[in-house]
Amino acid sequence: MFFETLLFVLFFIFVSMAFKRYRKVRLLERIPGPPALPLLGNTLELLGSRKQLLQTLINFSKHGNGIARIYLGLKPYVLLSKCRSVEGLLTSNVLIEKGRLYDFMRPWLGISLLTSTGKTWKSRRRLLTPSFHFKILEDFVEVFNHQALRLVDKLQSRVGDAPFNVCPLVELCSLDIIMETAMGVDINAQNDEECNYLKAVHGMSDLIMKRHFAPWLHSDIGLKLSRLGKKHSELLSALHAMSLGAIKTRRTAYNKLKAEKDSNKDIQTDGGKKRLVFLDILLETSEQPDRPLSDENIRAEVDTFIFAGHESVATTINFALFLLGCHPQIQTRVVQELHEVLGEGDVTITSAALRGMTFLEACIKEALRLFPPFPFLSRRLHQPAVTDGYQLPEGTDIIIMVYCIHRDPEQFPDPDNFNPDRFLGAEAAKRHPFSFIPFSAGPRNCIGKKFGMMEMKVVLAHLLRTFEVTCRQTVDELGLRKELTLRPEHGVMITLQRRG
């Protein structure tokens, strides 16, 4: 009787799961999509290079008018590539769970603002929002200037040289900025062109993408048994060593200064000016009995901010240099605006001056439109939803095709053309509010978007006031590559001349 009962229970569970999957697939098969193989789905088509991956997903999205369906193994994904299709999802206060890709980021970034959901995400968002108050951001402009001028000094020796890849130098500058503003430490990465941390970031990004599109690596056991398991552990050790070192350094300074001061709300920097940094808020909160943060919580948030705070900004600056280097007439307009706002001679750019750089900001936004640092966003449905008239069952992963949304000719005529005027005047006002989402949108939009825009404007302003930038590459020659961010596989090759 026991075995008969057990077999009946197992059979009942199997039938229930099969019926649930049948109902789910029946709903999803109503959505247009490419043919899929049994068991493998569309996996084989996604196993090429990162450059091929980007184009393959774009081609998949064209099967429907804004919505398409694919399978990765037995796992269904729905691709949304029109602004009207993503509005309901991005504005929802309920459908905020990130997709499967973020599961593979958790060994590195932990349960952080980027990877968490539900009550954990909401409490972290409330906790961290004060870190990006405009008064705090204004204090950071000093750091932006200092590190941007370091980059300018590094590039002086490149004037008149043959074309060189500017991407590694910009990335080191951005890393210096995020470490000093968010962690309170100056690691002088710009004098370490063999930076092991950045090598580890690139290696982990590549590994996460390989894991995402290889169903046999989805489980932790599958990863450990594969040839990538050892590499994954080594990369994690290198990445966590960087963040834990920054936490240790700042905690020592924080405890020393707290003992010397009556208030712990402002931390004294070496230069004598009070500046509250992101890590200070985490350290303060870890001591509050009602809202404690463990050391692991702090490490997760630190790793997230170091990665997200330097990678996307550096990528955008590099693409902006590519576009401006290819369009000298637009670069001239930027320089004219900088002269009008800043005047002549050496200057320190202020937050007030940044507000006057409207055309430079339009150029940055157009770079973000053409080359969004995160070309795809993802969500996982923990309850059924309806999009474009299609029923999407619980458990479906959604891929928001930011790259395609930004190139929708209905919203951006001649979408492949670099035209910063799209973001000025009436033309910008008449577009759909979800046609431009480089920082996502709705409740899970990027908390650091103002920080990033200010940083990009300061760095680009210093570079363009000092150098005339020329680039002869085409978009095809960049070799767009989908890692965790969109990267130019062959770099951005520029030449520099000093401005008179």
pLDDT at 309: 86
For residue 269, the model assigns a pLDDT of 46
Any domain includes 14: no
The closest alpha carbon to 462, from 342, 359, 355, belongs to 342
Domains identified in the chain, total number: 1
Can you list the positions of beta strands (E) in 272-333? none
Q: Does residue 19 belong to any structural domain of this protein? A: no
Name the nearest CA neighbour of 172 among 162, 186, 182, 184: 186
Q: Tens-of-pLDDT digits for all 500 residues of the chain?
A: 656 565 655 554 544 554 455 567 788 889 999 998 988 889 888 887 777 888 899 999 999 889 999 998 888 899 999 999 999 999 998 888 988 889 999 999 999 988 888 888 888 888 888 777 777 788 899 999 999 999 999 999 999 999 999 999 999 999 999 999 888 888 889 998 788 888 999 899 989 988 888 888 888 999 999 999 999 999 999 999 888 888 888 888 778 777 776 555 554 444 445 566 788 878 887 777 666 677 888 889 889 988 888 999 999 999 999 999 999 999 999 999 999 999 887 788 999 999 999 999 999 999 999 999 999 999 999 888 999 989 998 888 999 999 999 999 999 999 999 999 999 988 788 899 999 999 999 999 998 899 999 999 999 999 999 999 999 999 999 999 888 899 999 999 999 999 87
What is the pLDDT at residue 13?
A: 57
For residue 419, report the phi and psi dihedrals to the nearest 5 degrees. -140, 90
Gap between the Cα atoms of 55 and 462, Å rounded: 35
CA distances from 379 to 95, 359, 440 (A): 8, 34, 12
102 is in which domain, residue-wise?
Answer: 31-498
Binding-site residues: 446
Question: Does 387 reside within a domain?
Answer: yes
Which strands form 493-498's sheet, in the order they lie side by side?
Answer: 164-165, 493-498, 467-471
Q: For residue 105, is it within any domain?
A: yes
DSSP-assigned beta bridge partners for residue 392: 385
Let me know if residue 461 belongs to a domain. Answer: yes
> Is residue 378 within 8 Å of 105, Cβ to Cβ?
no
* Residue range 55-93, pLDDT digits in tens: 899 999 999 889 999 998 888 899 999 999 999 999 998
Alpha-carbon gap, residue 123 to 119, rounded angstroms? 6
User: What's the distance, CA 338 to chain centroid?
Assistant: 28
Long-range contacts of 21-30 (CB under 8 A, 24+ apart): 21/74, 23/393, 24/76, 24/393, 24/395, 24/396, 25/76, 27/390, 27/391, 27/392, 27/393, 28/69, 28/76, 28/78, 28/392, 28/393, 28/396, 29/69, 30/390, 30/391
Q: What Å distances lie between residue 134 and 97, 127, 221, 266, 442, CA to CA?
A: 28, 16, 45, 16, 20
Binding-site residue ranges for heme? 446
Please report whether residue 7 resides in a domain. no
Residue 318 sits in a domain whose CATH number is 1.10.630.10
Crossing angle for the helix pair 449-466 and 295-326, nearest 10 degrees? 40
Residue 24 within any structural domain of the chain: no
Please state, in angstroms and as integers, the Cα–Cα distance from residue 232 to each residue in 54, 101, 116, 224, 248, following that order: 24, 16, 21, 9, 24
Helix (H) or strand (E) segment spanning residue 165: strand 164-165
Within-domain flag for 6: no
Q: Which amino acid is at 64?
A: G
Output the pLDDT for position 7: 60
343 by Cβ neighbours in 10 Å (0-12 / 13-18 / 19+) ranks as exposed
